[in-house]
């Protein structure tokens, strides 16, 4: 037997999974007694597993990715047509879908100008980090190499991205990390009591001032960039408080620090109304990285987008033959990515999904807030658009997180009801207590109500 079997032979597929697949981010011990879950099919908001069970997917493919929903024939056709014409050529040359998508993308991002194609969110962030380092050497005599990142933010799984990782549980045992990444405090209003000296009023400005304090401590001439999520995702679904972003922009301008916004989760409509999270806050980033929603998971594509000003620093220079970005990403040259991304953008525009995201996000928020009356365990509801979190606490005054097992039990109960929700996962030790909701941007009112009804039932059963 060479091990081949038919794609319909699901029991052997499960067996092969158990024998050979190393799943991401989970423990494998339970598979010794339980079957691993295999998702077989998807359509719209729903997926089916190997047992034929239907699930409403309230997390867009588990990690906020499938923004336009499953089974989009027009994206599949665009990818097929492009692959038949040209599947790949290294990005040192251009491609037709690459140019078309870049033009469309830049038209949604005033002030930005250049798109660097790559494979994953981690890699897109690494590109920006490398550019910051190269700029430091080229322009600042090797100073300004430091990159600031924030507690609770996540920027990826590769070692430099983890060096900018504010989620200790993910980083544990993977060090040592790259030098010159420096942490700044988070800006989470709900947990401001955990930050020394946090005021009752104007917390947003105060939280941004803490970044300035780190810059002054490190020396402004050593700090090249500040990397932030516009709304922190896995670290707890955290929107920065009023006044924060304006101060962040002022600080970056004052100390000549490049602002890198990681839109890997928020990008391409997830927060509603605007294409990108940062566009809600009137800031002017120097780098914007994106991945998950760019092609809604129909093809692997990520982008590092920057300004013409940054690009100009890397142009060939007769006096310096090394002054170009000496970097490549093999699969940045796959044409399936931009072909899928063009059609993904078209769907979002044609179906008015930015507006739907805002409307359905408001419904999700209102439903979750209504549950707070009944379930005292919900300490806080927060988020933007179809990107919401509900933090579970033992007591609303002390805000002590519920044990993680209980938060996971809520997820498992929803799963049993046929609704897939998420919980902050392997991020802040002991603090993975925020339920996460990120349904596709096509969600209907009934879908939203089904999600929150499932949560209502699950909270009742888990917490009584």
User: What DSSP line would sit under 70-112, residue for residue?
Assistant: B--HHHHHHHHHHHHH--B--TTS--HHHHHHHHHHHHTSTT-
Instruction: Tell me how far, at minimum, the Cβ of 351 lies from ligand PLP, in Å.
Output: 25
Does 231 help bind ligand PLP (rule: CB under 6 A)? no
Start-to-end CA distance of the chain, whole Å, equals: 53
Distance between CA atoms of residues 80 and 250, nearest Å = 46
Distance between CA atoms of residues 347 and 295, nearest Å = 11
Q: Is the Cβ of residue 149 or residue 206 nearer to ligand PLP in the bound state? A: 149
- Within residues 286-325, the interface with ligand PLP by CB under 6 A covers 291
CA 269 to chain CA centroid, Å, is 12
Distance between CA atoms of residues 356 and 362, nearest Å = 10
Here's the x/- map for ligand PLP, 168-197, by CB under 6 A: it reads as ------------------------------
> Using CB under 6 A, which of the segments 78-86, 151-159, 183-191, 370-378 binds ligand PLP?
151-159
* HSE of 113, CA atoms in CB hemisphere, 13 A: 8
Distance between CA atoms of residues 84 and 302, nearest Å = 22
Residue from 133, 152, 155, 192 binding ligand PLP (CB under 6 A): 155
Q: Is the Cβ of residue 164 or residue 454 nearer to ligand PLP in the bound state? A: 164
Does 166 help bind ligand PLP (rule: CB under 6 A)? no
Instruction: Report CA Rg, the chain.
Output: 22
Q: At what angle do helices 445-463 and 353-374 cross, to 10 degrees?
A: 30
Residue from 70, 101, 116, 154 binding ligand PLP (CB under 6 A): 154
Alpha helices in 203-332 (DSSP H): 203-218, 244-254, 308-312
Instruction: Tell me how far, at minimum, the Cβ of 9 lies from ligand PLP, in Å.
Output: 31
Residue from 98, 165, 234, 337 binding ligand PLP (CB under 6 A): 234
Instruction: Tell me how far, at minimum, the Cβ of 264 lies from ligand PLP, in Å.
Output: 3
Number of chain positions touching ligand PLP (CB under 6 A): 16
Does 424 help bind ligand PLP (rule: CB under 6 A)? no
Q: Where are the beta strands (DSSP E) in 154-309?
A: 181-184, 223-228, 231-232, 238-239, 258-262, 287-290, 302-306
Q: Is the Cβ of residue 127 or residue 247 nearer to ligand PLP in the bound state? A: 127
> Using CB under 6 A, which of the segments 94-102, 115-123, 129-137, 194-202 binds ligand PLP?
115-123
Distance between CA atoms of residues 297 and 134, nearest Å = 31
CB atoms within 10 A of CB 370: 12
CB atoms within 10 A of CB 176: 7
Longest dimension (CA), the chain: 72
Q: Is the Cβ of residue 262 or residue 365 nearer to ligand PLP in the bound state? A: 262
Q: What Å distances lie between residue 138 and 18, 115, 142, 167, CA to CA?
A: 50, 21, 7, 32
> Using CB under 6 A, which of the segments 121-129, 363-371, 373-381, 445-453 binds ligand PLP?
121-129
Residue from 120, 134, 417, 424 binding ligand PLP (CB under 6 A): 120
Q: Are 384 and 280 in contact (CB under 8 A)?
A: yes
Residue from 265, 360, 386, 440 binding ligand PLP (CB under 6 A): 265
Point out the residue whose Cβ comes nearest to ligand PLP: 121
Residue from 58, 63, 421, 458 binding ligand PLP (CB under 6 A): 63
Here's the x/- map for ligand PLP, 24-53, by CB under 6 A: it reads as ------------------------------
Q: Is the Cβ of residue 333 or residue 359 nearer to ligand PLP in the bound state? A: 333
Q: Which residues bind ligand PLP (CB under 6 A)?
A: 63, 120-122, 125, 154-157, 229, 233-234, 262, 264-265, 291
């Amino acid at each position: 037997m060479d091990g081949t079997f038919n794609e319909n032979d699901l029991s052997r597929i499960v067996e092969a999974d158990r024998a050979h697949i190393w799943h991401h981010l989970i423990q494998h011990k339970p598979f010794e007694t339980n079957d691993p879950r295999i998702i077989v099919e998807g359509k719209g908001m729903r997926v089916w597993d190997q047992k034929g069970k239907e699930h409403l997917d309230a997390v867009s493919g588990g990690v906020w990715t499938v923004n336009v929903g499953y089974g989009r024939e027009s994206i599949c056709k665009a990818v097929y047509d492009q692959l038949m014409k040209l599947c790949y050529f290294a990005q040192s040359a251009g491609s037709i879908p690459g140019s078309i998508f870049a033009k469309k993308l830049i038209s949604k991002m005033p002030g930005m100008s250049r798109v660097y194609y790559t494979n994953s969110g981690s890699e897109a962030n690494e590109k920006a980090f490398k550019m910051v380092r190269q700029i430091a050497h080229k322009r600042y005599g090797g100073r300004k190499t430091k990159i600031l990142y924030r507690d609770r933010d996540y920027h990826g799984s590769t070692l430099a991205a983890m060096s900018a990782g504010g989620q200790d549980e993910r980083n544990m045992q993977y060090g040592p990390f790259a030098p010159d990444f420096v942490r700044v405090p988070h800006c989470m209003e709900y947990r401001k009591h955990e930050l020394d000296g946090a005021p009752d009023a104007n917390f947003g400005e105060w939280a941004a001032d803490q970044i300035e304090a780190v810059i002054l401590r490190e020396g402004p001439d050593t700090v090249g960039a500040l990397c932030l999520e516009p709304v922190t995702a896995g670290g707890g679904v955290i929107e920065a408080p009023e006044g924060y972003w304006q101060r962040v922009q002022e600080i970056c301008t004052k100390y000549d620090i490049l602002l890198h916004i990681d839109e890997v989760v928020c990008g391409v409509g997830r927060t509603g109304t605007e294409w990108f999270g940062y566009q809600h806050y009137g800031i002017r980033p120097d780098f914007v990285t994106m991945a998950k929603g760019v092609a809604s998971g129909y093809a692997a594509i990520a982008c590092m987008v920057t300004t013409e000003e940054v690009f100009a620093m890397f142009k060939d220079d007769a006096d310096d033959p090394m002054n170009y970005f000496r970097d490549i990403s093999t699969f940045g040259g796959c044409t399936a990515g931009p072909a899928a991304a063009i059609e993904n953008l078209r769907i979002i525009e044609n179906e008015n999904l930015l507006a739907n995201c805002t409307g359905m996000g408001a419904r999700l928020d209102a439903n979750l807030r209504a549950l707070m009356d009944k379930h005292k365990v919900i300490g806080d509801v927060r988020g933007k658009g179809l990107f919401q979190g509900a933090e579970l606490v033992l007591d609303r005054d002390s805000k002590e997180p519920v044990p993680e097992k209980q938060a996971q039990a809520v997820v498992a109960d929803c799963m049993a009801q046929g609704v897939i929700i998420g919980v902050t996962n392997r991020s802040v030790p002991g603090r993975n207590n925020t339920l996460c909701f990120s349904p596709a941007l096509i969600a209907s009112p009934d879908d939203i109500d089904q999600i929150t009804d499932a949560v209502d039932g699950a909270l009742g059963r888990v917490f009584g």
